[in-house]
Each structure stands twice: as C-alpha cells, then as structure tokens.
Structure 1
C-alpha cells in the first residue's frame, strides 16, 4: 500500500499543449478526421487532487475563467475516474478538486490534461499500479489529447491524434499565448474546415490522403532551433478558426509586427501562440500585447507529462 493511498488524498499535475504542426485529412464514414500532429507540452498546468469518497464528485477552481467547465458526470476528469474504476473493479467513488490554468476550450487540451491527471491520481489513490501504456490506452478512450497529456514532452500523433511516437526535442521553446474568455467548439471548427474545402476555393490547400508531419518540423525540434520551427509550423484548422473568429487575424498580425517569429492558432483555437527567440523577447511581446488589451501568458516547452506530486 503506497503512502499516497494511506494519506487518502493524491495530487497530480498534467500540462497543456501546443500543436506546433497540425495536418488534417478528410472525414471518414464516421465523421472523424485522420490527423498528423507535432505536440509540445508547455508550462501551463492543470492540478487535480483525488480524495477518497463514496461517490464521484468534482469541484473546479482556476486562474482562468472556469464558468464553462461542467461539474457533473460529463466532466472529463470524472469520466476518467469512472473509467479507471470500472477497469480495475473499484467499487467506491472519488472526489476530485481541479485547479485550472490552461484556458478553457482554448485549443490547448486543458480538459484532456484534467483527465490525464485524474487517471494518474486515482491510479495512485486506489493502488492500481497500472503501467504507463495501460493508462494511455484508457486515456485514448476519453479523447485523442489525453494520451499525450500523460506522456508530455514532444511527440508526433497520427491516426486520430492518439497514436503517439515520442520525438526528440532539444533546448527550450518560448511561447506567448493570447487567450480568450470565449472558447471555440472543436466540432464546429472541423465542420467549417470541411465546408471551406468543399467550397472549391482556390486558396484551399489539397486535402492530404495520409497527413504527415513535415520533416523540417522534426528537424527544428531535434536541433532546438526556434527560427527553423517558426518557418515550418502550420495548422490546417487555422483558416477555419479565423473564418469563425475573424478578430484572431488581428491578434496574429499584431504579434508578428512586434517581433514574433510566427503566430498560429493552437489546435482548434481560439488561443493564439507566438513563438519567440528567448524568454526576454517573450516578456517584451507580452508587454505590447497586454497594452493592446489582450490577455496573455508566457509558457515554455517541452515539459514533462502528468505526474504525481508530493503532498
């Protein structure tokens, strides 16, 4: 029996992510899209405390607006705890306290990080002792980003994004994020992408039959070269997100004008991620963007995946 289990309360932390590259294939018969992504875990974290309980309950606080986070059975962390309990045959429940710093519905995988931290915390609390592989396999049943929140670091995701291969990344990459208190629906962004591609617009890029990550992206990560990464980064969902939220284009233009090496919508948005040379450049850009009235965060990556922390 572990010390965490005896204490009756376990604290786990999982990171948010940025998709430094995201290619989207066409929709299959079930409506899902095959993707190819280069994920980077960044220093915006979700903290989850799991406490022994007879029932499955959750309370949510945050340094970001959490008013849109469900506190019922639909909460992804609660679903993760229930899934693990069913898998190991656990008869009791758990109370989860979640503290969020990843923007809600911001394209950075905050809900997936909650689920990853909940899986890890409950595994320790209940003494299940599942392997990392088993936890990632369970996590994939909850969403494509959950396995990566468990793994962390840098990885290439294929299939629906949950078939992960670790990618070598050297050095540190500094990002300035412009967040929004109005989230975006991931299904709506994918639907808008499909509409745009079907419109016959000459500006629409060809739909990849089998999406892949550009070799220059992996080369930039291996070399720890932010300038090379800036030139190779891309997000197929970005144009659809800009069609739904045109004001994001103004954010990107301002950041680029102020010295960011690249700016892209993170995942399905609406968070905009700017890659800069170093930490001091990030702080300078934050000052300008904040003065323009935008909410900003400075994060760096890659960082480790979900882990249990000492009480």
Structure 2
C-alpha cells in the first residue's frame, strides 16, 4: 500500500435547527435542516508507521492532534471494523472555521473515513460508512452526504432534500469558540420547565429550498439554539445587527455558534454584506460561500 488519498469535505449551515427537550441519554431530538456550503477542508491520508495527525491553515493551532480528533477516531473505527492497524498519517488542510458551528471537526471525520476507505480498499458500503459516521458524531453523516438534508434523531438520521438553486451566504467568524454541550445546556436553562413540543421541519422552509427562493427561505430560517448562544456570547448580537443593517435577507447564529450566518440575494449582495461586516469591528474574519455543494469527495 503506497501513495496517498485526498478528500475534500464541506462546511454546513443549519437553515433550521429545531430542538426538542433533553432525552434520557443527554441528547436532544432535532429537526435539523442542513445545507452544505462551499468552504472546504481537505484531508489527506498516507501510510505511516503509526497513526498521527497534522494540521495546517487558519486556526490550525486550535485543532487537537491526538486520538480525540474526529479524523483519527474515524481511521481507528474503520480499521477496527476491518481488522487492520490504523497506521496512517492524516493531514488536514483547514479552511472551515474551527469551533464555529459549521461542522469543521465533523467534516474532517467524514473526510478521513472516506480517504482511509479508499486508501485501504476496504470496499465499505455507503450504509456502513454512514453507520460509522453516526457513531462518531451527530453532524458527521451529513458531512459525508452533503447537498441538503433533514436530520432527525440527534441529527444523524438523514433524508436528502431537493434544492431548486444556489443560496448565497456570508459567514462572520467570532473570536474563540463555543462549547456545543454548553450551548444546549443554556438552551435548556432558558426554557426552564416549559413543555417542549417534538421538533418538526418547517413546510415553508422546505418549499423555499425546493423553489430556490432566497427571500422565502429568509422568512423561514430558524435556530432554537440562537438565544442560548447569544446569552453565552452577548457580542454576537452586534454582529447579527451589523449584517442585517448591511442588507442581509436573514441573520442567524450558525448551529451552536459562535459563527454567524447571513443569507443574501446573490453574489453582489454577498460582497456588500461581507465588506460591511469586515469594517464593523464585530467579528474576526468574514467568509463568503454558496450552497448546496457535494459532500465528501475523493480528489486523488
């Protein structure tokens, strides 16, 4: 076994994140509408004497390089299933914001899984790979699939969704990260003893995706974790307001944050909102992307 395999894998934005009450296992049932967007990590695997992880790119210093990294865990899981050693060097070229609510770590897990499958020639079925993804984390299956999908359960049970056109986004990257468990805990605290209905996907939102209608999508986007993220990071409110003031059709926290996402009408609108956010002093960096895009893809 020689050579290497490189897989490109996208970031995601949650255009709807409906969160049910806490389950007995500590998770929450979700109706999670994912859209893959054109910010990508590239994960390269090659044979090595032992499993190791390296990383380069923006905020690479924040990425764990031990076996807690989802890319390493993916290699170990696939190797265990096929009775082999996970002796590979995994290199991650980061471009997805780290700890930003855009599933960068999950993307790396899916990318490493697909890359190791190709390098080792395991011939795992799509169902097997998706099963391993679900064991690794709630967002990992979507990173493999890409496009647009409704996630049920804790987000890992996916139904692909039709999309009638491209949607343009601007993402404002905040300083530091937010702990996803902490955001869910804050969501539970803010809700108190309220009776939480079972989460359901918005029919209007699914129709807007199907039609490729950005204005209709803007009217339907929602994130039940947004209030919790802003409670833990009050500075996000100023970022959201800056994007709205610049003409974004919709402004929301991406997933559990702290990255904020702004839906815009087109590429020209994206440039305008991005410039305004960059000069607002309310965020560390600004990125522009469109979606949907494919999931994890073998490049070489």
Query: Are positions 1:22 and 2:12 aligned together?
Result: no
SS at match of 1:240: helix
Q: Which runs of 5+ in 1 are unaligned?
A: 1-5, 201-205
TM-score, length-scaled by structure 1? 0.94
Change (3 A) 1:92 1:108: closer
Across the aligned residues of Structure 1 and Structure 2, the Cα RMSD in angstroms comes to 1.1
Query: Are positions 1:271 and 2:271 aligned together?
Result: no
Partner of 1:235: 223
Kept in 1, the 8 Å contact 2:171–2:260? The answer is yes
Partner of 2:196: 207
| In 2, Cα distance between equivalents of 1:56 and 1:218 | 42
| In 1, Cα distance between equivalents of 2:142 and 2:49 | 30
SS at match of 1:253: helix
Q: Which runs of 5+ in 2 are unaligned?
A: none
Query: Are positions 1:303 and 2:293 aligned together?
Result: yes
| TM superposition shift of 1:31 | 1.2
Partner of 1:58: 53
Kept in 2, the 8 Å contact 1:54–1:92? The answer is no
Kept in 2, the 8 Å contact 1:50–1:96? The answer is yes
Pairs within 5 Å for 1:98-247: 98-198=92-192, 207-208=196-197, 210-247=198-235
| TM superposition shift of 1:254 | 1.1
Runs (4 or more) in structure 1 with deviation over 4 Å come to: none
Query: Are positions 1:281 and 2:269 aligned together?
Result: yes
| In 2, Cα distance between equivalents of 1:91 and 1:138 | 17
TM-score, length-scaled by structure 2? 0.97
| In 2, Cα distance between equivalents of 1:192 and 1:212 | 21
| In 1, Cα distance between equivalents of 2:243 and 2:85 | 52
| In 2, Cα distance between equivalents of 1:52 and 1:30 | 37
Change (3 A) 1:176 1:48: same
How many pairs align?
298
